Amino acid sequence: MPANEYSAASCASSKPASPDRNIKNVVLGNVLFNTWFHSLYPEELVGKDTDRLYVCRWCFRYSCDKDAYLGHTRLCEHRSTPPGTKVYDWRGYSVWEIDGEDYKLYAQNLSLFAKLFLDHKSVFFDVSSFLYYILVFTNPRDANDYHVLGYFSKEKMSWDANNLACILVFPPYQHKQLGKLLMGVSYKLSAWEWEGGIIGGPERPLSEMGRKSYIRFWEERISRFFLLGPPGADPYGRKIASASSSSRPMAGGSKGAKRKLARKEMTVREIGQATGMLVEDVIAALKEMGIVESEKSGKKRKRAPLPSSTTTTTATSGAVDVEATEAAVVRKQNVLEWAKMHRVDLRDPVAEEGFLGEWAPEDEDEEDQETDSGI
């Protein structure tokens, strides 16, 4: 499509627009769509009642003047390659890490554009302390033709162990599971499964839409762990902590049963360690899924209530012990039924082999050689 022709995005009216927005419509590349909220663009460049703002799809520079915009797009320095360092690349989708200190203007323009679709975003100009990760799709027929579909940001140093500060999939590309891809990358980049890594989550409080998206992401992450994670490994094939886990026959079986289902106990904290999730996020997901059953125990023993990190979980038949005389059980069959009912794709949205550089999976042959040589 020629650069001076614009197609209206199908999601243009997917969210009610705020009455105080200063820009009604935006053109990103060759796509025209509505804005949702007010953004702090300089008033000397963008008026209080702008009908259409033109935004470069490569660097997010903006103009109310169509000719100035078209002139810029012919010369944009990022026209063929995004800025920053590529950290993920899989089947046309890539993620690039951009340091806000090194690419200050890019990060500021991206933040101003994002505010048109985020109600509570507050950082626009002080970007030096943030890293930005843009999601890019590259045309398989032309390596120089790419589109930025969304992004997430995170603080370089988060005292609250946040692995994400802000996330947005641009309106024309929403409802394509791309948010889950970005969330999955954010968890990987927190290095939670490595020694010295951090188990964290998104910055709080979450918006209503953000909480809904994350709850679903956590639900699917936990369901993959219960259904696909073999003993001693999570769904992605990596070894997990199972120091206090134990396997034993399931209690409460019917008399005369020929065999008893295997049962594995673990605490909620251990589920979090196996999936890279905070304890409170594990609990929130289990509650929303509605797969936890009560199981009375004949033994009276002190156990922490459900919101505790010491709550015990049984993973093959599944169980989370809640009270002194009662256990909360998570059965694999219930998890499977939940996954089918909600049409969950048990494949991880992030391909482990797609990570590059320091995030690339370790080669097993190299690991064996290091072990043999005593390194």
Residue 39 has pLDDT above 90, yes or no: yes
Q: What is the reported pLDDT for 362?
A: 78
Pairwise pLDDT comparison (230 vs 204), residue with the higher score: 204
Distance from C-alpha of 218 to C-alpha of 239, rounded to nearest angstrom: 20
Check whether 120 has a pLDDT greater than 60.
Answer: yes
**What's the gap between Cα 259 and its chain centre?**
41
The Cα 291–Cα 213 span in angstroms is 19
Catalytic machinery residues: 203
Average pLDDT, the chain: 82
> Which sequence spans correspond to the domains of the chain?
7-204, 216-250+261-341
Q: How far apart are CA 27 and CA 34, in angstroms?
A: 9
CB atoms within 10 A of CB 189: 22
Query: Is domain 7-204 given the CATH code 3.20.20.70 in the classification?
Result: no
For residue range 310-340, list pLDDT tens digits in order. 555 555 444 454 444 457 789 999 999 999 9
Q: Which structure tokens are listed for 252?
A: 């409460």
Q: Check pLDDT > 60 for residue 27.
A: yes
Lowest mean pLDDT among 11-25, 133-147, 180-194: 11-25
Confidence at 137, pLDDT banded by 50, 70, 90: very high
pLDDT of residue 365: 55
Q: What is the pLDDT of residue 19?
A: 77
Under the banding of pLDDT at 50, 70 and 90, the label for residue 9 is very low
**Does residue 375 carry a pLDDT above 50?**
no
